Amino acid sequence: MTPEITFDDFMKVDIRVGVVVAAEPFPEARKPAIKLRIDFGGDIGEKKSSAQITKHYLPEALIGKRVLAVVNFPPRQIGKFMSEVLTLGVPDEEGAVVLVAPDMATPIGGRLF
């Protein structure tokens, strides 16, 4: 059973729209991953993320793609790479990650409500 949270709990999670400005393979990761640099604009700016999205995405195809990410988790060390945001995705039928993204044009840095 999924634990219940309050709306105030949900509002503590800061999920923003960003645009991928750089992406490269991350062969040092234990599980196949891609290093991302995501621009959230405004006060947040560019942040780094490691994402296990290699089944459906090539690094060069991610440039310019809008994604959603949690921007207020503490940074997490992944090997020699410091991941600063959690890029969001959901598993497909085989468990491979599919990125969560807005389906229409949205401003960079827009917050999910």
Convert the pLDDT of each residue in 78-95 to its tens digit. Answer: 988 999 999 999 999 999
Convert the pLDDT of each residue in 25-73 to its tens digit. Answer: 999 888 999 999 999 999 999 999 999 999 999 999 999 999 999 999 9
CATH code for residues 14-99: 2.40.50.140
Domain boundaries, the chain: 14-99
CA 64 to chain centroid: 13
What's this model's pTM, rounded to 2 decimal places? 0.93
DSSP-H helix ranges across the chain:
7-11, 59-62
Query: CA 6 to CA 59: how far, in whole Å?
Result: 37
